[in-house]
Amino acid sequence: MPTSTENTIDRAPRIVLVLAFLVLMLEGYDIIMYGTVVPSLLTYSSWSVTPEDAGHIGSLAVLGMLFGALGAAVLNDRLGRRRVLIGSVLLFSIAMLAAAAAGSPGQLGAFRFLVGVGAGSLLPTAVAMVIEYSPASRRGLNTAIAFTGVGLGGILASLLGTWIAPNYGFRLMFAIGALPALIIVPMLWLRLPESLTYLSMRGRHDEARRTAERLGVSLPVITPRTTARGAGLETVRALVTSRHLISTLLFSAAVFFCLLVLFGANAWLPSLMIKAGYGVSSSLAFLLVLNIGATAGTLLASPIADRIGFKPVIVAAFLGAAGSLSLLAAKPSTLVVVALVAIAGLGTNGTQILINAYVGSYYPADLRAAALGIVLGVGRIGGILGPTYGAMVIADLSPSWQFHAFAIPAAIGAAFITWMPRRVDIPPRLRHAAVDPSATR
């Protein structure tokens, strides 16, 4: 008898994907907007903020994301995905409003940390919900679609920041980040379903059946083994047992190196390009190309991953980033540079999105949310160290080796994914045929 099987979903309830897109767009704005208000903070005479102070305040949000992701690993199975997701949006929205009224740099840093906690707990929860309510043949694509919300939120932050921050100051930018919650939170409360896996794990079978009937999906099969994991900490312990320990460590290491390159490149790519001989304006434009490449590339790569498996696509994306970053050291023509930077975007930000979908598809349904929380939480350390790593590269290496220094961690990330033990990373037609998914791990 199989110990656990996942629910077979033939079509994705659109409301889950739409709501995930909206909350990730709000999260994207709230995280990325900080860079647009730094000049206003530095010229705010009442506080006398130094560049170092501004950097420390910015890093607190990333640190908060680490704690938020780890907290979600436990709370998702104690409180439910729905409550954690709504609570996360409330937390970072209230923190944004509080940041708008901050009375000192210290208070602003504390509120930015809380923004990070909310954003960090939102990410694994949203991914888990999207994957659970997606057919196996569209898990990668639906995750990519949802994460385009983060990019759109960042674009909105950049566009608003160029007008609002210089003319009205940083406080209005923070307040704007909180206002959409007045609409989105009621929408979540009224329309977001609870995870069917969570309801079944908690013995709320009637509610699970009504939810499945309303959405037109089938129920997951939950056994006593799975139900026993519903206490939160027990779920986390299951991820570090001999059966799952290797995969959890490998995923965490891959995310660490992915975020190391991602945050380092986003912080230092313009400086790298300037040192390579490109003008300031074109160097800033390359940062836009990096993010466009990540979004477009992920939307193109995710259906391929859904068809042939996530592992080969992620390895190829990692190696693409490593190769393109190394080739930039050769100072090719501008057109080639644009193509290489776009590939690097897919291999960094795009790879992280694909890994999110891979983690969510790799583990059994009852471990999915906790696994995403642990992997994203531990891997977030790479995001914290990325800007510092980039600063060391800029200061200590020659211009050509600076690009190689960013390529090496991407190659290491590819190696960790290559070593991933086999589970169910197989084409959907075979995945549907398996009675017991655990037999194919």
The domain spans of the chain are 4-237, 240-440
**Out of 20-29, 103-112, 150-159, 344-353, which region has the weakest mean confidence (pLDDT)?**
150-159
In the CATH hierarchy, which top-level class contains the domain 240-440? Answer: mainly alpha
In the prediction, which pLDDT does 157 show?
84
> Is the confidence at residue 190, as pLDDT, over 60?
yes
What CATH number is given for 4-237 in this structure?
1.20.1250.20
Where helices occur in 329-398 by DSSP H, the ranges are: 334-345, 351-362, 368-396
CB-based burial label for 143 (10 Å; 0-12, 13-18, 19+): buried
Q: Choose among 94, 146, 87: nearest CA to 115.
A: 94
Q: Choose among 342, 311, 310, 306: nearest CA to 324.
A: 342
Element (H, E) at 330: none
| pLDDT classification of 2: cutoffs 50, 70, 90 | very low
8 Å CB contact between 73 and 373: yes
8 Å CB contact between 21 and 130: no
3-state secondary structure of 90: helix
CA–CA distance, 220 with 427 (Å, rounded to integer): 20
In the prediction, which pLDDT does 203 show?
82
CA–CA distance, 294 with 258 (Å, rounded to integer): 13
CA–CA distance, 407 with 326 (Å, rounded to integer): 6
- CA–centroid distance for 249 within its chain: 18
In the prediction, which pLDDT does 231 show?
55
CA–CA distance, 39 with 89 (Å, rounded to integer): 27
8 Å CB contact between 286 and 403: no
In the prediction, which pLDDT does 281 show?
61
| pLDDT classification of 435: cutoffs 50, 70, 90 | very low
Rg (the chain; Cα; Å): 21
Average pLDDT score over residue span 358-387:
89
User: What is the 8-class DSSP label of residue 222?
Assistant: E
8 Å CB contact between 272 and 401: no
Q: Choose among 250, 268, 270: nearest CA to 318.
A: 250
Average pLDDT score over residue span 101-105:
94
Average pLDDT score over residue span 392-402:
79
- pLDDT digit string (tens) for 245-299? 899 999 999 999 999 988 887 777 767 777 777 765 666 577 678 878 888 888 9
- Report the percent of the chain where pLDDT is more than 70: 87
Give phi and psi for 104, each to the nearest 5. Answer: -160, 165
Give phi and psi for 5, each to the nearest 5. Answer: -135, 155
Q: For 255-357, where are the E strands, in sequence order?
A: none
8 Å CB contact between 196 and 134: no
> Is the confidence at residue 308, as pLDDT, over 90?
yes
| pLDDT classification of 440: cutoffs 50, 70, 90 | very low
- This prediction has a pTM of 0.82
Within 8 A by CB and 6+ apart from 392, the residues are: none
Within 8 A by CB and 6+ apart from 406, the residues are: 261, 264, 265, 272, 325, 390, 393
CA–CA distance, 82 with 400 (Å, rounded to integer): 48
- CA–centroid distance for 300 within its chain: 18
8 Å CB contact between 37 and 166: no
Of residues 87 and 266, more confidently modeled: 87
Q: Report in angstroms the alpha-carbon separations of 84 from 8, 125, 197, 316.
A: 24, 7, 15, 34
At 420, list the tokens: 């991933």
8 Å CB contact between 370 and 234: no
CA–CA distance, 96 with 111 (Å, rounded to integer): 7
8 Å CB contact between 22 and 184: yes
CA–CA distance, 311 with 419 (Å, rounded to integer): 10
Query: Which amino acid belongs to residue 73?
Result: A
Average pLDDT score over residue span 228-236:
62
Average pLDDT score over residue span 367-375:
90
Of residues 235 and 407, more confidently modeled: 407
Give phi and psi for 423, each to the nearest 5. Answer: -130, -105
In the prediction, which pLDDT does 189 show?
95
> Is the confidence at residue 434, as pLDDT, over 70?
no
Q: Same CATH topology for 4-237 and 240-440?
A: yes
In the prediction, which pLDDT does 438 show?
33
- Please provide the average confidence, as pLDDT, over all residues in the chain: 84
- Report the percent of the chain where pLDDT is more than 90: 42
Average pLDDT score over residue span 44-64:
86
Element (H, E) at 62: helix 51-79
